[in-house]
């Protein structure tokens, strides 16, 4: 259904009634219909997208304020953020935008099998995006970076609160048992990094329990728990194979609190922005899954086009999120 | 009341101009037309845009390459990355979302959105982002400061607990 601005009621092959307008009038009979030259569904979808623009503008605006107003912001490798994974996700979403456009073209050309194929591919690419996002989130969670307390094991600076948190964790019964196990283990049963790790663990245990801790001592403790190299090349033995960095990496069960200056604010904005984006991606995937139940011919082209508009918008948001979160 | 373009493939609606009869030009309809439709150019345009998007995404990593001349001025890098993002966004909006071929209502949508984006940057970054010097005491007690970052760097370099197994390869 079209809301047309003006219609000319003759000289048009599609007309049902007049055909060629010799109905006694001398010229074309104009029939004005109010409205915009686009279908209702499309109009509503664009209105909805405007509200979504406002939504993400609010989130991005607050990210801009918080980031540029923060005295300290963590570097990407400090929070285990991998730019190549982000770039891969960008590529996946761009591909899925292309495939949904190709699905639309195929549907318009009444090639329903092809349209279905492209739409299934779009669904698959979107699911891949969500899977990679989940893997990224897991990488953050495994280092204790959560968007809220008490889950978050990230401290802003190596102060006495940090020292007491390390003490508290080392004093937990389960951890003390495992530490004892570690101490009792013979040296030849452990890997070299575990051997040096347990020695360093003992040392930091003493450092956080000593009565006159200086900030520098606590900074050394924090550096042992999870080091923050100045540039990425020192750290990048790949994100999964961290090598022998940090006691939290050597002993995955240890989960000591770590210090990442600015880390909590970073986590908050990162998880909020990418979380909402992921929810939008999920909604788009549900829409595609429902569309796949229909026959994707020219009759459905309008629906496919509107779903495609939503999906392109999701891609658009990611195009802005990627540099703002990963590359800045 | 006649309803021209009841063919649902024409979801753009007729774009009528004075003296023109809508639908007169593209009468051979797409059923069976594999690539062209509405004379918008077919798949080739979308693939060209896709290639451009891939190139632009790669370009946004240019600031990381050793050949980037403005390493000491991060603002140049940020401006470059935002320019790349805006170009990508324009390509997606114009071609994938078909806005290039839409009627004048597209300006009602795009111009206020562009204004909003511009105002967002201009108002927020200098006026609020760069002027947050006053923080609440509770935040001040716990927030990180540049001195803490320096402390962590010094602690890392000191390698007080360096071990002979050779894992830390400085010193």
DSSP readout, A121-148? HHHHHHHHHHHHHHHHHHHHHHTT--SS
Q: Compute the nearest-CA separation of B69 from chain A (Å).
A: 17
Chain B residue with minimal CA distance to A50? Answer: B109
Q: Compute the nearest-CA separation of B66 from chain A (Å).
A: 13
- Residue A95's pLDDT band, with cuts at 50, 70 and 90, is very high
pLDDT score at B166? 41
pLDDT score at B169? 41
Query: What confidence tens digit (pLDDT) does each residue in A301-314 have?
Result: 999 999 999 999 99
Spell out which residues of chain A touch residue B163, defining contact as CB-CB under 8 Å.
196, 199-200
Of A14, A50, A316, the CB nearest to B7: A14
Checking if the pLDDT of B168 tops 50, the result is: no
DSSP three-state, residue B44: helix
- Residue B142's pLDDT band, with cuts at 50, 70 and 90, is confident
- Residue B120's pLDDT band, with cuts at 50, 70 and 90, is confident
pLDDT score at A24? 58
pLDDT score at A77? 85
pLDDT score at B97? 92
CB contact under 8 A, B93 and A12: no
Checking if the pLDDT of A25 tops 70, the result is: no
CB contact under 8 A, A298 and B7: yes
Beta strands in B10-156 (DSSP E): none
- Residue B135's pLDDT band, with cuts at 50, 70 and 90, is confident
Determine the average pLDDT of the residues in A189-218. 86
- Torsion angle defined by CA atoms of residues A158, A162, A166 and A168, in that order, rounded to the nearest 10 degrees: 170
Spell out which residues of chain A touch residue B7, defining contact as CB-CB under 8 Å.
14, 298
Checking if the pLDDT of B70 tops 90, the result is: no
Query: What confidence tens digit (pLDDT) does each residue in A179-189 have?
Result: 888 888 888 88
Query: Considering only B3-12, B107-116, B141-150, which range has the smallest mean pLDDT?
Result: B3-12
Task: Report which of residues A28 and A275 the model is more confident about.
Answer: A275
Checking if the pLDDT of A72 tops 50, the result is: yes
CB contact under 8 A, B30 and A108: yes
Token duo for residue A151: 């889950």
Query: Phi-psi region for residue A238, left (φ > 0), alpha (ψ -120 to 50) or beta?
Result: left
Determine the average pLDDT of the residues in A73-101. 92
What share of chain A in percent tops pLDDT 70? 88
CA gap B164, B168 in Å, rounded: 9
What's the mean per-residue pLDDT of chain A? Answer: 85
Checking if the pLDDT of B7 tops 70, the result is: no
CB contact under 8 A, B22 and A8: yes
Highest mean pLDDT among A33-42, A187-196, A319-328, B9-18: A319-328
Residue B89 buriedness (CB in 10 A; 0-12 / 13-18 / 19+)? middle
Highest mean pLDDT among A62-76, A114-128, B9-23: A114-128
What share of chain B in percent tops pLDDT 90? 21
Of A50, A261, A298, the CB nearest to B152: A261
Chain B residue with minimal CA distance to A157? Answer: B144
Q: What number is the ipTM of this complex?
A: 0.77
pLDDT score at A121? 96
Task: Report which of residues A26 and A76 the model is more confident about.
Answer: A76
Residues 6+ apart with CB under 8 A from B4: A4, A7, A8, A12, A14, A15, B14, B22, B23
Determine the average pLDDT of the residues in B62-68. 84
CA gap A72, A228 in Å, rounded: 14
What share of chain B in percent tops pLDDT 70? 67
Mutation site for B-interface testing, chosen from A223, A306, A317 by largest number of B Cβ within 10 Å: A223
CB contact under 8 A, B120 and A105: no
Residue among A81, A87, A61 at smallest CA distance from A263 = A81
Query: What confidence tens digit (pLDDT) does each residue in A163-181 have?
Result: 999 999 999 999 999 888 8
What's the mean per-residue pLDDT of chain B? Answer: 74
Checking if the pLDDT of A146 tops 80, the result is: yes
Spell out which residues of chain B touch residue A79, defining contact as CB-CB under 8 Å.
none
Of B9, B60, B63, the CB nearest to A108: B9
CB contact under 8 A, B50 and A308: no
Q: Does A323 touch chain B (CB under 8 A)?
A: yes
Q: Does A160 touch chain B (CB under 8 A)?
A: no
Q: Does A304 touch chain B (CB under 8 A)?
A: no
Residue among B89, B62, B90 at smallest CA distance from B78 = B62
- Residue A23's pLDDT band, with cuts at 50, 70 and 90, is low
- Residue A21's pLDDT band, with cuts at 50, 70 and 90, is very low
pLDDT score at B32? 39
Q: What is the pTM of this model?
A: 0.79
Long-range contacts of B104-109 (CB under 8 A, 24+ apart): B105/A36, B105/A37, B105/A38, B109/A46, B109/A50
CB contact under 8 A, B24 and A12: yes
Query: What confidence tens digit (pLDDT) does each residue in A215-242 have?
Result: 888 888 888 888 887 766 544 444 433 3
Checking if the pLDDT of A286 tops 90, the result is: yes
Beta strands in A59-132 (DSSP E): none
Checking if the pLDDT of A15 tops 60, the result is: no
Q: Compute the nearest-CA separation of A145 from chain B (Å).
A: 16
Of A6, A72, A224, the CB nearest to B148: A72
Interhelix angle A40-69/A301-322, nearest 10 degrees: 10
Residues 6+ apart with CB under 8 A from B110: B93, B99
CB contact under 8 A, A319 and B88: yes
Token duo for residue B7: 């063919």
Q: Compute the nearest-CA separation of B55 from chain A (Å).
A: 11
Determine the average pLDDT of the residues in B123-140. 76
pLDDT score at B55? 94
pLDDT score at A275? 96
CA gap A218, A157 in Å, rounded: 9
């Amino acid at each position: 259904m079209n809301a047309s601005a003006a219609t000319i009621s003759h000289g048009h092959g599609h007309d049902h009634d007049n055909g060629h307008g010799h109905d006694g009038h001398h010229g074309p009979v104009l029939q004005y219909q109010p409205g915009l030259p686009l279908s209702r569904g499309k109009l509503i979808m664009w209105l909805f997208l405007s509200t979504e623009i406002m939504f993400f503008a609010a989130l991005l605006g607050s990210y801009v304020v918080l980031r540029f107003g923060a005295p300290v912001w963590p570097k990407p490798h400090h929070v285990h953020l991998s730019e190549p994974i982000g770039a891969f996700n960008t590529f996946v979403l761009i591909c899925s935008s292309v495939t949904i456009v190709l699905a639309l073209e195929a549907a318009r050309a009444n090639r329903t099998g092809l349209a279905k194929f492209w739409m299934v591919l779009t669904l698959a690419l979107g699911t891949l995006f969500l899977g990679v996002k989940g893997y990224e989130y897991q990488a953050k969670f495994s280092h204790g970076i959560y968007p809220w307390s008490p889950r978050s094991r990230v401290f802003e600076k190596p102060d006495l609160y940090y020292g007491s948190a390390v003490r508290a964790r080392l004093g937990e019964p389960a951890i003390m048992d495992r530490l004892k196990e570690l101490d009792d283990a013979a040296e030849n049963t452990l890997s070299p990094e575990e051997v040096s790790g347990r020695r360093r663990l003992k040392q930091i245990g003493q450092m956080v329990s000593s009565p006159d801790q200086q900030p520098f001592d606590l900074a050394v403790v924090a550096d042992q728990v999870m080091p923050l190299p100045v540039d990425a090349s020192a750290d990048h033995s790949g994100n999964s194979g961290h090598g022998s960095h940090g006691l939290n990496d050597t002993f995955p069960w240890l989960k000591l609190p770590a210090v990442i200056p600015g880390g909590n604010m970073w986590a908050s904005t990162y998880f909020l922005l990418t979380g909402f984006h992921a929810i939008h991606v999920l909604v788009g995937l549900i829409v595609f899954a429902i569309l796949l139940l229909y026959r994707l011919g020219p009759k459905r082209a309008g629906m496919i086009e509107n779903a495609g508009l939503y999906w392109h918008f999701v891609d658009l948001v990611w195009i802005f999120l990627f540099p703002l979160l990963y590359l800045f | 009341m006649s309803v021209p373009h009841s063919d649902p493939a024409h979801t753009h609606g007729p774009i009528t101009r004075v003296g023109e009869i809508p639908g007169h030009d593209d009468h051979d309809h797409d059923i069976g037309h594999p690539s062209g439709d509405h004379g918008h150019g077919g798949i080739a345009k979308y693939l060209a845009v896709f290639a451009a998007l891939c190139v632009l995404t790669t370009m946004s990593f240019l600031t990381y390459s050793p050949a980037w001349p403005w390493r000491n001025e991060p603002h140049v890098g940020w401006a470059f990355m935002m320019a790349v993002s805006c170009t990508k966004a324009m390509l997606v909006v114009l071609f994938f979302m078909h806005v290039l071929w839409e009627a004048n209502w597209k300006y009602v949508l795009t111009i206020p959105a562009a204004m909003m984006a511009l105002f967002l940057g201009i108002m927020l970054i200098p006026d609020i982002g760069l002027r947050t010097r006053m923080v609440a005491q509770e935040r001040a007690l716990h927030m990180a400061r540049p001195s803490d970052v320096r402390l962590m760097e010094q602690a890392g370099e000191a390698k007080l607990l360096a071990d002979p197994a050779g894992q830390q390869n400085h010193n």
